[in-house]
Amino acid sequence: MDLIVSNPADALGTLRMPDSPALDYVAIDGESFLRGKTEAWQSLGMAEKSKVLAEHPAMVQPGMFFSQDPATALAPPALAKTVLAQDVPDEKITVGEPVTVGDHTCTPIHADDTTICLSDERANGARFVDRISFPGGTAVLDIKAMSRPEVERFSTDFRSKLPLIRDSVDHRIKMTSQILRGYKGACAPTACVFTARVTVTYLGPTSDPDASKAVPVTYAWAIDRDGTPMDLDPECSGALLIKPGTSEDLSCTAIGPPVESGASRGQYHGEIRTSDRALTAKEYERLVDLAADNSEKIAELPDPARAP
C-alpha cells in the first residue's frame, strides 16, 4: 500500500501485489473504492470477476481484501491510539537501540508485540512516528508527515478523484437484462417498441442491511433500422432505483421515416445497456460536500513542524 491518509480518513493512493499492476485507491467516510486493470484484479484473487471489475471502479467492503477499512484504520487519530499503547502494561514496554530508517535513525519502542519507531529529529520538542511494526510481522507501516504544500495538493487531488466514486459499482450486485419478445406496441416499417426486463440480485447475506437497499441502475437503449442508428427520445436512457429481488420493465419506442409500400426495408434491431452503481446521486452529492468540508478543516490545522 502507498497511501496518503488525512485526519478525517480521506485517502488516496495505490494498492499493488508484487509484480502486478497497481490499483487506484480512494476512500471517504468509511468507504473504500478501487480501480484497476484486469491483471490487477486477478492478482488479488478476483480472476472470475476481473473483466467486469475492470470496466468500472468498485466499492470494496471490509472482508473482501482487508479485515477492516484501510483508510479508517490508518487515519492519524486511529494510529495515535496504537502509539499510545494504553492497553499494554508498563512492564511490557521497552526501548531499543536506534535503528536506521531511510536516511535517518529512529528509536524503537517495543509495546508488547508492536514496535513504534520514534524519529530522533525534533521540531519544537516533538518526535514523529516513523514506523509501526505490527505483531508477527503482519504489517509494517512507514510513516511520513506531510508538508503544507503537500497537504494542499492532496486536498485538490482528492476532490478531482471523486468521479471515480460516482461511477463505482458494488461487486455484491448482479444485474440481468432480458429483451422481451412480447412487444407492447406494433413493430412496423415506421415504428417499433422494444421492452426489456431488468432484474437486480444481491449476492451477499440476506441479513445484510444492503440486501434490501435500492440499487441505482443506469440504462440506455441503442436501436437501429436497417443498420442505421436511430435518434431516440430522452426517456430511452436514464437512471432508476431497483430493489434487490425485483424487476423493472423498460421500454423505448423507435420511429423511422416511411418506406414505400411493399418494400423489404424497415428492419429494427435494439439492445439495452445497463449498469448498476454503488451510490445513489444523493449519496454521491453528500460525499462531495463532505470532501469539501474535510478539506476546509484540514486547511485550518497547524503545520506540524511549527506546532507548539
Using DSSP, state whether 181 is helix, strand or coil: coil
Could you tell me which of 273, 236, 291 has the C-alpha nearest to residue 71?
291
**Looking up cell 537501540, which residue turns up?**
97
Could you tell me which of 75, 72, 36 has the C-alpha nearest to residue 54?
36
pLDDT at residue number 185: 46
d(CA 251, CA 235): 9
Could you tell me which of 220, 216, 219, 234 has the C-alpha nearest to residue 165?
216
d(CA 79, CA 7): 10
d(CA 56, CA 275): 9
Q: Residues 50, 20: contact at Cβ < 8 Å? A: no
d(CA 89, CA 84): 12
Pick 238 or 262 by higher pLDDT: 238
**Tens digit of each residue's pLDDT (9 = 90 or more) over 191-205:** 888 999 999 999 888
- The cell numbers describing 18, all together, are 508484487
pLDDT at residue number 307: 46
**Tens digit of each residue's pLDDT (9 = 90 or more) over 26-68:** 999 988 999 999 998 888 887 777 787 888 898 988 777 777 8
For the residues 13-18, what does the mean pLDDT come to?
89
Quick check: 183 pLDDT over 60? no
Say whether pTM exceeds 0.85.
no
